[in-house]
Structure 1
Amino acid sequence: MANRFPPSMKPTTHFTSLKREVFGRVTQCRIGHCFSGEYYNRFVPSENVNCPCGEELQTREHILRTCPRYEDHRHLLRSVSRDISLPEILGTKDGIAALAKFLEESGAFTKTGTPRRPQETPSFEDEPDPVDSDDESDDGG
């Protein structure tokens, strides 16, 4: 359902424009190898397959179309497909763009199912002070 584009020798617009982490989740979602109970059921049977909302099997369709955890962000998908048709969301340029925005804002298909916090750039002030050693015996002589 997601494989609707012919092969190309050039990278896609999404590849060149999305953050790396979001692009990864878009790709994982499109091919079904994502953090979901459906995936775990097949490949990681030791993981819980239930959705935190109470659904017995967390599927890609459930997350995108009906899970109450993501209702606040579902309008992003509906802007492209009123009924959130998976072939449309996963297999068209507009659908993939909406999916990327949905994933970035909602945190869907992350291990925790919540948006990732931006990593803070470390600053010099955060570095620990060097240990002051007057002992010269550590230099081997």
Structure 2
Amino acid sequence: CRTGHAFIGEYYAKFVPSESKECPCGHPHQTRAHILQDCPRHDEHRRTLTDFDPEISITRLLNEEKGMAALAEFIRLTGAYTKTGELAEP
């Protein structure tokens, strides 16, 4: 997420142009901000982030210890940023 390397449309637009840039929710641009702040696929678990920072600042999430913990939990709960965008099998 910090380096910009992730299985999301924002990355594919630069490095794998044959892949879709669209979010599975239908939004035309799947960006880090969209996934964290707006994507309806992750509404159920967004409170993990808003409890840390109501504005869901990517800078704060990536630069503060509690922010990184909140982001890690969000990713664990949602499967965001994975190749399939789904939770891993236990």
TM-score bin (small chain): over 0.9
Q: Percent identity?
A: 51
What does residue 115 of structure 1 align with? 87
Comparing 109-118 and 36-45, the one that deviates more: 109-118
What does residue 96 of structure 1 align with? 68
Residues 12-59 of structure 1, C-alpha deviation per residue, up to 9 Å, x if partnerless? Answer: xxxxxxxxxxxxxxxxx1221001100000000011110011111100
Distance 1:37 1:49 in 2: 4
Where do 1:1-141 residues align within 5 Å?
A: 29-118=1-90
Distance 1:103 1:68 in 2: 15
Distance 1:90 1:73 in 2: 18
Distance 1:32 1:99 in 2: 15
Unaligned runs of 5+ in 1: 1-28, 119-141
Distance 2:51 2:66 in 1: 9
Unaligned runs of 5+ in 2: none
TM-score, normalization: structure 1?
0.62
Counterpart residue identity of residue 44, structure 2: D
Q: What is the count of residue pairs matched by the alignment?
A: 90
Task: Output the aligned Cα RMSD.
Answer: 0.8
What does residue 25 of structure 1 align with? none
Bigger Rg over Cα: 1
SS of residue in 1 equivalent to 2:27:
coil
TM-score, normalization: structure 2?
0.96
Aligned structure 1 segments of 4 or more residues deviating by more than 6 angstroms = none
